[in-house]
Structure 1
Amino acid sequence: MCAVVGLFHPTSPRSPDSGLVRRMADALRHRGPDGAGYHAEPGLALGHRRLAIVDLAGGAQPMSNADGSLVISFNGEIYNHEALRRDLEALGHHFRTRSDTEAILHAWREWGPGCLDRLNGMFAFALWDRERGQLVLARDRLGEKPLHYARLPDGTIAFASEIAGLLMLPGLSRRLDPTALDDFLALGYVPDPNTIYADIRRLPPAHYLVLHRASIGALPPPRRYWQPPTQVVAAPRDGGRELASRLHEAVRLRLMSDVPLGCFLSGGIDSGAITTLAAAATKGPLDSFTIGFDGECDERAQAAHLAAQLGTRHHEAMATSDYVAAARHQAALFGEPFGDVSAIPTLAVCRLARRHVTVALSGDGGDEVFAGYRRYRWHQMAEAVRRHIPARIRRPVIGGLARAYPKLDRAPRWLRAKHTLTEISLDSALGYYGTVSRIGQERRRALLSPGMRAAVDGHDPAARFGALMEECDPDDSLLQAQYADLHTYLPGDILTKVDRTSMAVSLEVRPPLLDPTLAAWGLALPAGLKLQGGQGKHLLRVALRSILPAEVLQRRKQGFAAPIGQQLRAQAGAVRARLLGGPMLDSGVFDAPALARLVDQHMAGSFDHSQALWQLLVLEGFLADIGGMRLTMPEERLAVPSP
């Protein structure tokens, strides 16, 4: 894996500052410790940090084609590059290396933007086409690899794999975006195309951006080249057999490597299937890696049992137990606030794997593609109720019950009906948004200062979900929810978590279940082949019956993180000190009494505010890192209406 950085000035006759590009690349050295390369010409400078995986001798970047008319800086892997090479050689192209990077250059020369439809892999790249006078920024279909960009005051467009590369630019504004901060509090991440910084954008998955020489107007909007299916197709004749074949091929493609390769292995279906197929296709023993937790989330025993059956070289370790301390460093790792607590054990398993391998296969994506999350089952049940109770009755009656029902955080699950009643009372999109929202709007607004409330007035993170779900078949509520997740939670949370934690230790992670052809096929399956009998991943379980033990296929899904509520109470002094003073109050974002009430309620045990407190601790670490900078926003948004 690698890092991409660069500067492009559409009208400048001079090369950009080479020292600045080197500093941008050096800030991302963790993504590519094996080497660095640079290219400069009038108006353009490209930088690259390399983690060598394929064609160790011939894959240095930035890479040019034979006549120098194309130059690319590329982050990722193109798994079908050998097949592309054969097709392109048949068309008269001549290759000088074995690298997948060169395959992109020839594919662009032959097909232009149409080549993006032919690339099977995870990628983000900057490609300069001198003949067309175009710089192209592109990102893979599902968002496995990131790419950020910004426009500087002098008209230069800067881009980098991570935000940290752009923060090396002295002319870049560090203004924070109030609506992005509201999104972070609502979802635990900032969804594409926004970042926490008002002037830094993230290229969305399955999009490319074309920047033209001599163009001095506003930046053009990114162009979409692919989207997930929005309607189901007829059930395949032998779906289990076809899925097994597709999964086997996806794993086979991702075994290409000139460096050591292994697999993440938990006690679940997804990683178990990937490890089983990889072990069968690998000569010699395969390395496998597991992280343990204190308490019921610990799956080390199950993973070790499966590893012994497969004959892998198994490695395990315990995850850190100090989540309060880890929150302070979360934003520094991600470049902005990131609220998924499972990033802590994910970083730990990446560190463990990197001691032995450079590439690891993971089971990420199975829950999104084959409907493994519990929230999909709840959404389907809520939809069944909505279909039988008219909205004119459902909203006031069930909504009234939801408001009256106590919030029993510490009661047995079957008594905690407030959330279910609330979801049923709402329309489909708002109900589903409620299942993925981390901090509800009423509580978020209560936590904010008057100025911040004015700044986010009219912003509703739920609107994004409603718009996405409307793009899908209105009669397939499961596909609507999956489609929304593939545009929000998957790239914004899951894949961001995997990319940043793995790249922090210079490890490449490949998720075969997110092979784009496999993912599109799985998403388009009828709902009954994904959810059946109250259980998700139905067809996936059928496909894996011959290779996974029954106890793995039937095991209940576990969360990949330890509960942190009691730890927050045990470190009440540290939590109070960080949330009720210093950067949090200096920022002008929060209402101090509201923060104090939230902390007091959790510490007293009357409510479980674990997620909200964790996200606030992460945000405190971010604000401390940027020097306690006060949130800046247009002055007209700061005006507070008179009472």
Structure 2
Amino acid sequence: SEGETRPVRTFSIGYDRDYASYRNELEFARQMASRIGSEHHEYRLGVDELVDFLPRMVHLQDEPIADPVCVPLFYVAKLARDNGVTVCQVGEGADEMLIGYPNWLQALERQQMDDWPVPRLLKRAASSALDLAGYGHAWQTEYLRRGGAGQPLFWSGAEAFSEWEKQRLLSPRLKRSLRGLTSWSAIAPIHARFRARAWDQSPLSWMSYVDLHLRLPELLLMRVDKMTMGVGLEGRVPFLDHRLVALAMSIPSSRKASGGRLKHLLKIAVRGLVPDALIDRRKQGFGVPVDELFEGRLATLAQVQLDRFCDETDLLDRGEVNRLIQSGQGSKIWYLLNLAMWWREYITRDVPAAA
């Protein structure tokens, strides 16, 4: 911003109120805007507006991306475009390259425990016992299964369902046609390349590697591209300049997360440019209050759409889908609703307006 002849324009999105599952970050955006003297714009998104946008979101996505963040991302892109911006910068990539996700540190602890000299046979026996005790759905059981199979515990930063849950959700016909295919079938070749080529074989390095190959291009960059281009805005990603990526990936992961401090090196680099209060605050992901959304009209829409999807496709187990809806697990219901609406848009070519 220092080299510009006019103030940089900045844009932020929030919601009409704070929710239990997501609190607005507008105030922090204002602090940063004030620090750099930007021309700042913000928009508050209402629940009805969010729900009404779903059919268009599905159309713009092209693929069943299934990320609710596509909604606020579209509206903040629209805010920028409405204010005359045609090219913007977004921050994707820094977390993957420089270790910025809190759940990666939790995954590191789990992997370190799994690396203890415990026989795989014992891990398999423990996971089987938990299955029999009714805890097959628990992620702890899933990690024991992976450890017992000699697999890394971390497969992606975008896992929604455990393998146990997926097997329950799939219809008998689909399971037969898959012939034992699991998500590991997609992860295994990536893991093999990592083991063969990566100079840093640490668990954190693996997390960076797999998410740079899967979650970043297939989810995060995809949603940025689809939602920004949906309003005629080009989103550019400066952190993914190939020279910066090469530099970041040449640094040992132990240096990037020194003492368990997320994005440690980046914070050192921008200290003095960004207010300390923003650098040192607890990380909060860009999110959507999906649990609260399914307490209203979105729950009815999900039931109708998923009932029809089960009738027309025989891909999912209706009983398990209904159990999931009744359980109120908003994020998981969202993923299935997104799949059902995408199917109607791109396979049967029939998407209704939101209920």
Tell me if TM exceeds 0.5. yes
Query: Partners of 2:65 and 2:283 in 1: how far apart?
Result: 23
Aligned to 1:559: 285
Q: Which amino acid aligns with 1:573?
A: T
TM-score (ref. length: structure 1): 0.49
Distance 1:626 1:375 in 2: 34
Mean CA deviation greater in 487-496 or 314-323 = 314-323
C-alpha distance after superposition, 1:336-390 (max 9, x if no partner): 2121111111101100011121111111111111011123212221222123232
- Once the two structures are TM-superposed, the CA of residue 405 in structure 1 deviates from its matched residue by 8.2
Equivalent in the alignment of 1:456? 178
In structure 2, give the amino acid aligned to 1:384.
Answer: Q
- Residue 493 (structure 1) aligns with: 219
CA distance in 2, matches of 1:393, 1:620: 40
Determine if the alignment matches structure 1 residue 348 to structure 2 residue 91.
Answer: no
Q: In the alignment, residue 351 of structure 1 is paired with which amino acid?
A: K
Say if 2:319 is the partner of 1:597.
no
What amino acid sits opposite 2:70 in the alignment?
A: A
**1:398–1:535 CA distance, 2 compared to 1 (3 A):** farther
The AA in structure 1 aligned to 2:251 is L
In the other structure, the counterpart of 1:433 is 155
Mapped contact 2:155–2:210 kept (Cα < 8 A): no
CA separation in 2, counterparts of 1:395 and 1:324?
A: 44
2:41 pairs with one of 288, 305, 315: 315
- Is the counterpart of residue 504 in structure 1 residue 230 in structure 2? yes
Which amino acid counterpart does residue 448 of structure 1 have in structure 2?
Answer: L
Equivalents in 2 of 1:421, 1:507: separation in Å? 44
Q: Secondary structure at the match of 2:91?
A: coil
- In 2: Cα distance, 1:576 partner to 1:405 partner: 27
Q: CA deviation at 1:401?
A: 7.5
Assess if the C-alpha contact under 8 Å between 1:385 and 1:424 holds in 2: no
User: Which residue of structure 1 lines up, in the alignment, with residue 192 of structure 2?
Assistant: 470
Which amino acid in structure 2 is aligned with residue 292 of structure 1? G
Partner of 1:59: none
The offset of 1:301, in angstroms, is: 0.6
CA distance in 2, matches of 1:315, 1:354: 11
Other-structure match for 1:363: 91
- The 1:426/1:625 distance shift into structure 2, 3 A limit, reads closer
Change (3 A) 1:574 1:378: same
Contact 2:130 2:136 in 1 (8 A): no
Q: 2:333 aligns with which of 602, 613, 618?
A: 613
For 2:56 and 2:180, locate their aligned partners in 1 and report how far apart those are by CA, in whole Å. 32
- CA deviation profile, 1:608-638 (whole Å, cap 9, x unmatched): x222211111122122224637xxxxxxxxx
Alignment match, 2:306 = 579
Distance in 2 separating the partners of 1:307 and 1:484? 34
Provide the C-alpha distance between the structure 2 equivalents of 1:405 and 1:382, rounded to a whole number of angstroms: 22
Classify 1:586/1:462 alpha carbon distance in 2 versus 1 (closer, same or farther; 3 Å). same
Whole-Å Cα distance in 2 between the matches of residues 394 and 332 of structure 1? 48
Q: Summarize the Cα distance change of 1:382–1:425 in structure 2 as closer, same or farther, 3 Å threshold.
A: farther
SS at structure 2 position matched to 1:613: helix
CA distance in 1, matches of 2:237, 2:158: 23
Distance 1:382 1:498, change over 3 A: same
> Does the C-alpha gap of structure 1 residues 393 and 626 become closer, same or farther in structure 2, counting only changes over 3 Å?
closer
Structure 1 residues 626 and 598: CA distance shift in structure 2, 3 A = same
**Residue 333 of structure 1 contacts residue 504 of structure 1 at CA under 8 Å; is this kept in 2?**
yes
Q: Distance in 1 between matches of 2:89 and 2:321?
A: 41
Larger Rg: 1
Q: Deviations over 1:270-320 (max 9, x none)?
A: xxxxxxxxx123222111100013324311111111211211000000134
Q: Secondary structure at the match of 2:42?
A: strand
* Cα distance, 1:549–1:282 mapped onto 2, change above 3 Å: same
The amino acid that maps onto 1:286 is V
Paired amino acid for 1:556: R
Determine the structure 2 residue equivalent to 1:377.
105
* CA offset digits 1:523-549 (Å, max 9, x no partner): 221122211222211111111112111
Amino acid at match of 1:438: A
Which amino acid is 1:348 matched to? Y
**Higher share in strand:** 1
Number of aligned residues: 336
Local SS of the residue matching 1:453:
helix
User: 1:506 aligns to what SS in structure 2?
Assistant: coil
- SS of 1:288's equivalent in the other structure is strand
- Aligned partners of 1:423 and 1:434: how far apart in 2? 13
Q: How do 1:505-584 residues align onto structure 2 when only pairs under 5 Å count?
A: 505-571=231-297, 572-581=299-308, 583-584=309-310
Shift of 1:449: 2.5
Cα gap change, 1:580 to 1:283, in 2 (>3 Å):
same
Distance 1:425 1:591, change over 3 A: closer
CA shift in 2, pair 1:569/1:401, >3 Å: farther
- Aligned with 1:622 (options 331, 336, 342): 342
The separation in 2 between residues aligned to 1:422 and 1:338, in whole angstroms, is 24
Is the 1:290–1:315 contact (alpha carbons within 8 Å) kept by the matching residues of 2? yes
Which of the pair has the greater relative contact order for Cα pairs under 8 Å at 6+ separation?
Answer: 2
Relative to structure 1, the CA distance from residue 423 to residue 444 in structure 2 (aligned partners, 3 Å threshold; closer, same or farther) is closer
What is the TM-score with the length of structure 2 in the denominator? 0.85
| Partner Cα distance (1:513, 1:537) in 2 | 13
Conserved? CA contact 2:142–2:162, under 8 Å: no
Going from structure 1 to structure 2, the CA distance change for 1:614 and 1:478 (only over 3 Å counts) comes to same
Shift of 1:461: 1.9
- Please give the per-residue CA displacement for 1:210-254, whole angstroms capped at 9, x wherever unaligned: xxxxxxxxxxxxxxxxxxxxxxxxxxxxxxxxxxxxxxxxxxxxx
